[in-house]
């Protein structure tokens, strides 16, 4: 039910992001989704890729600090109120969202929302109970 995501520590200086992309590109790793959280000094780049372990090893070799985290991907209709419905469900069940990001599927009319929960098991239970479709990692990696 969970999706593997890699997080990379990036200093806030020119060329670091490009370096990540270059290293992954050379190894033939394809990026499916991406989000960057930043502060004035540093950022955390979060990626979902088609080959998680290869990407992690490659970046580590390249001198980056990398960790693998588990996130939950949810599919919602790409229309007004789509996100709101899910957030209401989570809010009502007092499930805390650490962070989230979204992208729109290339074909088909759905959006995919990636959630990082502090308690993913509870979150999955709540979403499932409310008939919200959770995307399997394999599907996302191949999307």
Partner 1 sequence: MTSYFHEEIETMPRVALQALQLKRLQATVARVYEKVPFYRQTLTKAGIRPEQIRSLDDLRRLPFTTKQDMRDAYPYNLFAASMDEIVRIHASSGTTGKPTVVGYTLKDIEVWTDLMARSFVAAGAHKGDIIHNAYGYGLFTGGLGAHYGAERLGASVIPISGGNTARQLMIMQDFGSTVLTCTPSYSLYMAEEAREAGIDFRNLKLRVGIFGAEPWSEDMRTEIEAKLNLHAIDIYGLSEIMGPGVAIECIEMKKGLHIWEDHFLAEIIDPDSGEVLPEGSRGELVITTITKEGIPLVRYRTRDITSLSCEPCACGRTHARLNRMSGRSDDMLIIRGVNVFPSQIESILMRIERVEPHYLLIVDRVDNLDTLEVQVEVDELLFSDEIKVLQTLAHRIEKEIKDMLGVTSKVRLVEPKTIARSEGKAKRVIDNRKR
Binding site for partner 1 (CB under 8 A): 7, 9-11, 16, 37, 39, 41-42, 44, 46, 63-67, 69, 98-99, 116
Output 32 or 46, the one with its CB closest to partner 1: 46
**H or E segment at 104?**
strand 97-104
CB neighbours of residue 143 within 10 Å: 17
Helices (H), 62-135: 82-92, 120-129
Find how far residue 121's CA is from the centre of its chain. Answer: 17
Structure-token pair, residue 53: 């372990």
| Least distance to partner 1, CB of residue 48, Å | 13
Output 52 or 76, the one with its CB closest to partner 1: 52
| Least distance to partner 1, CB of residue 80, Å | 29
| Least distance to partner 1, CB of residue 58, Å | 15
Write the DSSP symbol of residue 15: T
Question: Using an 8 Å Cβ cutoff, are 111 and 102 in contact?
Answer: yes
Output 65 or 84, the one with its CB closest to partner 1: 65
| Least distance to partner 1, CB of residue 94, Å | 19
């Amino acid at each position: 039910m969970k999706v593997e995501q890699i997080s990379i520590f990036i200093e806030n200086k020119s060329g670091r992001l490009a370096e990540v992309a270059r290293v992954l590109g050379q190894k033939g790793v394809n990026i499916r989704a991406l989000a960057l959280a930043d502060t004035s000094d540093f950022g955390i780049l979060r990626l979902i890729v088609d080959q998680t372990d290869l990407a992690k090893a490659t970046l580590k070799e390249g001198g980056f600090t990398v960790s693998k985290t588990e996130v939950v991907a949810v599919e919602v209709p790409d229309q007004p109120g789509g996100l709101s419905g899910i957030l209401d469900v989570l809010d009502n069940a007092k499930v805390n969202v650490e962070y989230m990001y979204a992208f729109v599927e290339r074909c088909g009319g759905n959006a995919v929302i990636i959630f990082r929960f502090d308690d993913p098991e509870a979150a999955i239970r709540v979403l499932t109970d409310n008939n919200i479709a959770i995307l399997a990692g394999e599907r996302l990696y191949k999307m």
